């Protein structure tokens, strides 16, 4: 499983994950997490449409990459849930590996952010963090 956000860091994780999948003849699931749903009163309908268009654009981009790598891809989305919770919930469905694009945060201790820390601490599966 590869969580995706549309950022360059996320895309690098996707590329590594797709390379691994191609080498092992594995199927990949791309997970996109969004905070907005159509019935969320905090967002206007036009804001929701923009969010949805962005989500679809990211997933189309990942699908095109998977096609170039000749890797079977399944996409799924989770809404109104923290990214770490969405990743952990999806990982618990039986994946062998979570490939997560990360970037190092400033500080004396190696830290890739709260989402990566939660996944590392609580994931039931193997994790590969790709830092570019």
- Cβ atoms of 126 and 98 within 8 Å: the answer is yes
Residue 10 sits at φ, ψ, to 5 deg, of -65, -45
- How high is the pLDDT of residue 80? 86
pLDDT bracket for residue 52 (50, 70, 90): confident
**Each residue's pLDDT tens digit, 68-122:** 999 999 999 998 899 999 999 999 999 999 999 999 999 999 999 999 999 999 9
Q: Which domains does the chain have, with CATH numbers?
A: 2-131 (3.40.50.620)
Share of the chain above pLDDT 70, in %: 93
What is the C-alpha separation between 25 and 78, in angstroms, rounded? 26
**What pTM does this model have?**
0.88
- What is the β-pairing status of strands 97-102 and 73-79? unpaired
Helix (H, G, I), strand (E, B) or coil at 114: helix
Strand partners, 4: 32
């Amino acid at each position: 499983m590869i969580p995706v956000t549309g950022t360059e860091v996320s895309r690098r994780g996707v590329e590594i994950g797709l390379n691994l999948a191609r080498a092992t003849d594995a199927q990949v699931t791309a997970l996109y997490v969004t905070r907005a749903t159509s019935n969320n009163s905090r967002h206007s309908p036009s804001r929701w449409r923009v969010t949805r268009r962005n989500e679809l654009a990211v997933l189309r981009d990942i699908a095109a990459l998977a096609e170039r790598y000749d890797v079977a891809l399944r996409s799924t989305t989770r809404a109104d849930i923290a990214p770490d919770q969405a990743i952990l919930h999806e990982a618990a469905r039986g994946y062998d590996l979570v490939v997560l694009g990360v970037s190092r945060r400033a500080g004396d201790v190696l830290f890739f952010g709260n989402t990566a820390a939660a996944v590392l601490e609580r994931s039931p599966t193997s994790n590969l963090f790709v830092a570019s």
